[in-house]
Structure 1
């Protein structure tokens, strides 16, 4: 039990300084970026990433690009709606007065 406490504290310190390792998975459908972690080192993240891939695929995600990297994500899930949202779906408002 003491080992887990030390590991959790050490991981928190690494995360605070942006030195923790994360699994980043970018999907085409839905167009999202997911971060899983933090992990102390790359080997720990590599071992865990298979489960994350399986979970996302079972939920219907397609086109996964997976990487393991040191970073400090601001959000754990980022939905990229910039490609899904088009202004031409709405009528133009020119000529209307408010």
Structure 2
């Protein structure tokens, strides 16, 4: 029951997240939650490296203080 309560509380509590946007494919990735902005910044290079090794080009990186995202990976359709 404690785990369920923590998860439910986490839906409303704000935490620090990395939001990494890529092109080709056009996606947004959310990594976290982190306990502080500094912790998110320290982890940023590793996540960027993983994404780039998969062949994606990082377009933008944000450190945000927000509620838990509904989806951790959002892929946008390619315009033809």
Structure holding more strand per residue? 2
Checking the alignment, whether the CA contact within 8 Å between 2:52 and 2:58 is kept in structure 1 is: no
TM-score with structure 1 setting the length? 0.66
TM-score with structure 2 setting the length? 0.80
Of structures 1 and 2, the one with the larger relative CO (CA 8 A, separation 6+) is: 2
The runs of 5 or more residues in structure 2 that have no matched partner are 1-5
Q: Structure 2 CA distance, aligned partners of 1:35 and 1:75? A: 8
**Runs of 4+ in structure 1 displaced over 6 angstroms?**
11-14
CA RMSD of aligned residues (A): 2.1
- Partner residue of 2:54? 59
From 24, 27, 31, give the equivalent of 1:29: 24
The runs of 5 or more residues in structure 1 that have no matched partner are 1-10, 87-98
- Partner residue of 2:3? none
Inter-CA distance 51–69: structure 2 relative to 1 (3 Å threshold): same
**Based on CA coordinates, which of the two structures has the bigger radius of gyration?**
1
Q: Deviations over 1:10-40 (max 9, x none)?
A: x968743241000000001110000000001
1:46 is paired with a residue of what secondary structure? helix
